[in-house]
Chains A and B, each alone.
With several copies, the nearest count.
Chain A
Amino acid sequence: MKWLDRFAEKSARRVARSSSRRSFIAKAGTVMLGAAAVPLLPVARANDSSRPPAPTESGDPDSCDYWRYCAIDGYLCGCCGGSFNTCPPGTTMSPITWLGTCTNPVDGKDYIISYNDCCGQSSCGRCLCTRSEGDRPVYQPFLSNDINWCAGSPVDVSYNCSTAVVLGLAVAE
């Protein structure tokens, strides 16, 4: 898909631009490819035990008030045949998406959440969940939940549901 080539080269520019900026939001905007990296770099990153452990969580991942969904806007994949981090059968995960920063009530820490869309079938239609905490306008794409992120998937823009993958800890400076 041709856009990938152009996108790579653009991303480099975006880094250059944003690394001179100070705000966390701007920087969060630049790490969005980290989300892409999860599915794209399994081998390179598989056995890294040096990192802090994944967060301890509580709550129902199929309920809209689950902590990871603070910036979501869509159908919960857990109600659609997938889970909060797995796409339903028949759909393909978009590697590129928007990011949110949600507070885990268990440890009180802020985590970066990657809301990867699942694509290639029409709307699931179940567990529609709209919470836009930290959501930004569409001209700040990687913080905007108004964009159909299936645009970044190999199967294009048919949107089925949204996942919420913990990408990392949000480190305040």
Chain B
Amino acid sequence: MLRKLIVPVCLLLQSTVGFAEIERESLPESRVLPGPSPHWVWVSDMAFHNMPDGKVYLVDGDSGKFLGMLSGGLGFTALELPADYSQIYSPETYFSRGSRGERTDVITFYDPRTLQPNGEVIIPPKRLQGMPTHNYSALTDDDRFLIVYNFTPAQSISVIDVQERRLVGETETAGCALVLPSGNRRFQMMCGDGSLLTVTLNDAGEVTNKQRNEPFFDPNDDWVTEKAVRWGDTWVFVSYLGTVYPVDVSGDRPRPGKTWSLFSEEEKQASWRPGGIQHLAVHLTSDKLYALVHQGQDGTHKDPGQDVWVYDLKTQKKLQEIKLEKLSSAIQVSKDKAPLLFSVFIGNPALDVYDALSGEYLRSVDEIGMTPTVLQTP
């Protein structure tokens, strides 16, 4: 192909007048990213007004520099990032005619340094489409299998072997939703009656056991949000009214722990409650829970907030109240020892960066898509 072009090129350069070449500047090419920084953040954008064109943006929290993006297809939710960041897995949905025609769901594999796709696995065209949040899909603890929650509205999960890059299969999970990993071959799902379904895989990724346990909360009393976060062997669920339900998932069956509340009686009286699209974040090494909270009534459980309250998950004491510069619908905390707190508001496409320890506002990065939803840190 090149050779074909060189001929006319030289021809042209000879025949050219009114044009003098100068020292050529560095060869134009595509940038390649360095290894990940713990202060990088991936910002998902479902592009609510143009849903076939979801995107996800990579920003460096230290410099505020926009590093690159990936197109994510229709109803994009979030990437899946293995611990070693050796690959990026993206559950994506496409139609042969944009918003109609034949639907194809895929897991696309991207090289994290070039952001070029290097493969895909076609999965059942059933992945849940909805307001994005985390927990719609997940990797097993050893990053070998990717689990995708399906809703058609029949409920099921698809299992993908990301090492062999093949679909292992699909399994019905009637009445239960979402994917909460709890081991190399085990994960939980949340069921409508307040119980958890424990799903076990074998080393081939095939489902060998589905065990539905007793409800760990009463849905008729107060619902826990689907935005649970993981704290080591414990999944932390928080209810609409701020009750925290820790559930130990280290064993074959989940063991609910002692519940506690994000709020004092006075704070409850002042109608403080959690809210947002991604309203919880855990900083693992310091055992801290970051909760996005606001004052509101019933129906505000997805409303944005401008306050992040920080708790010690061991003592269940509130350590800190962070007043945000701007409204927030999603928060995330970087995994390192000098963590950053990231925040976006779906109603205003900018990324805000804070010191997660002092709560100090550091910077804002504007023009981050249209409707930013989910935040993920490597």
Footprint of B on A, CB under 8 Å? 1, 3-15, 17, 19, 21-31, 33-34, 36-42, 44-45, 48-49, 51-55, 70-71, 73, 79-83, 85-93, 95-96, 112, 116, 118, 120-127, 130-141, 144, 146-152, 155-160, 163, 165-173
A residues in contact with B23, CB < 8 Å: 48-49, 51-54
A54 to B299, CA, bound (A): 26
Give the residue name and chain of the A residue nearest to B277 (CB): A146
Report B-chain residues with C-beta under 8 Å of the C-beta of A140.
192, 219, 223
Interface residues of B in 114-156 (CB under 8 A from A): 114-116, 125-126, 128-131, 133, 151-155
Ranked 8 nearest A-B pairs via Cβ: A90-B115, A81-B68, A133-B299, A158-B99, A148-B129, A139-B177, A139-B190, A146-B131
Contact for A3 among B25, B98, B115, B153, CB less than 8 A: B153
Q: Which residues of B contact A4 (CB under 8 A)?
A: 1, 4-5
Residues of A within 8 A of B226 (CB): 137-139
Is there a chain A Cβ closer than 8 Å to B11's Cβ? yes
Interface positions, chain B 4-30, Cβ under 8 Å from A, are 4-9, 11-13, 15-30
15 contacts between A and B (CB under 8 A): A11-B8, A33-B8, A39-B28, A44-B6, A82-B31, A88-B68, A112-B19, A116-B28, A137-B224, A140-B219, A146-B131, A148-B130, A157-B74, A165-B28, A169-B21
B203 CB–A CB distance under 8 Å: no
Cβ-defined contact, A139 with B192, below 8 A: yes
In the assembled complex, the CB of B17 is this many whole angstroms from the nearest CB of chain A, namely 6
Chain A residues lying within 8 Å of B360, measured Cβ to Cβ, are: none
Contact present for B58 and A81 (CB under 8 Å): yes
Asked if B216 CB lies within 8 Å of chain A CBs, one says no
Write out the residue numbers on chain A whose beta carbons fall within 8 Å of the beta carbon of B33: 89
Determine if A170 and B6 form an interchain contact, defined as CB atoms under 8 angstroms apart: no
Counting CB contacts under 8 A, is B294 at the interface? no
| Nearest opposing residue in chain A for B227, CB measure | A137
CB < 8 Å: which of A48, A85, A133, A149 contacts B298?
Answer: A133
Known contacts A81-B69, A122-B53, A124-B69; A30/B74 CB under 8 A: no
Given contacts A85-B25, A169-B19, 4 further A-B contacts (CB under 8 A): A26-B219, A29-B192, A86-B26, A93-B30
Asked if B223 contacts A136 (CB within 8 A), the reply is yes
- Whether a CB of chain A sits under 8 angstroms from the CB of B357 is no
**Beta-carbon contact of A28 and B19 below 8 Å:** yes
Q: Is the CB of B19 within 8 A of A170?
A: yes
Bound complex: CA A126 to CA B115 (Å): 18
Number of A-B residue pairs with CB-CB distance less than 8 Å in the complex they form: 309
B interface residues (Cβ-Cβ under 8 A, vs A): 1-2, 4-9, 11-13, 15-33, 48-53, 55, 58, 66-71, 74-75, 93, 95, 98-100, 103, 110, 113-116, 125-126, 128-131, 133, 151-155, 172, 174-178, 189-193, 219-220, 223-226, 298-302, 367, 369-370
Output the least CB separation between B109 and chain A (Å): 13
- Selected from A126, A134, A147, the residue in CB contact (under 8 A) with B130 is A147
Query: Could you say which residues of chain A place their CB within 8 Å of the CB of B191?
Result: 139
Contact between B178 and A138, CB atoms less than 8 A apart: yes
Query: Residue among B58, B154, B220, B302 with the most chain A CB within 10 A?
Result: B154
Give min CB distance, A114 to chain B, whole Å: 9
Question: Once the chains bind, are A120 and B49 in contact (CB under 8 Å)?
Answer: no
A32: nearest chain-B partner, CB-CB: B12
Complex contacts, B17 vs chain A, CB 8 Å: 19, 27, 171, 173
| Most chain B Cβ neighbours within 10 Å, of A11, A26, A40, A163 | A11
Known contacts A123-B51, A132-B302: A89-B113 contact under CB 8 Å: yes
Residue of A nearest to B117 (CB): A90
Contacting residues, chain A, for B98 (C-beta < 8 A): 122
A87 nearest CB neighbor, chain B only: B30
* Given known contacts A120-B100, A139-B226, A89 and B31 CB-to-CB distance under 8 angstroms: yes
Measured between beta carbons, the chain B residues less than 8 angstroms from A152 are: 152-153
Residues of A within 8 A of B50 (CB): 122-123
Complex Cα distance, B36 from A160, in Å, reads: 23
Residues of B within 8 A of A29 (CB): 192
A2 to chain B, nearest CB (A): 9
B18 and A122 within 8 A (CB): no
- The interface residues of chain B lying within 8 Å CB-to-CB of A30 are 12, 15-16
Q: Are A33 and B12 in contact (CB under 8 A)?
A: yes
Indicate which residue in A15, A82, A126 contacts B12 across the interface (CB closer than 8 Å): A15
What separation, in Å, do the CA atoms of A23 and B192 have in the docked complex? 13
Residue in A closest to B189 when the chains form the complex, CB atoms: A139
Task: Give Cα A22 to B220, complex, Å.
Answer: 9
Across-interface contacts of A15 in B (CB, < 8 A) = 8, 11-12, 15
Structural contact, A40 and B2, CB atoms closer than 8 A: yes
| Residues in B neighbouring A5, C-beta threshold 8 A | 4
Asked whether B223 lies within 8 Å of A90 as measured between CB atoms, the reply is: no
B96 to nearest A CB, angstroms?
Answer: 11
Complex: how many Å from CA A139 to CA B223?
10
Question: How far is it, in angstroms, between the C-alpha of A173 and the C-alpha of B18 when the chains are bound?
Answer: 7
Contact A157 B93 (CB under 8 A): yes
**Known interface pairs A90-B114, A92-B30, A152-B152; A169-B129 also in contact (CB < 8 Å):** no
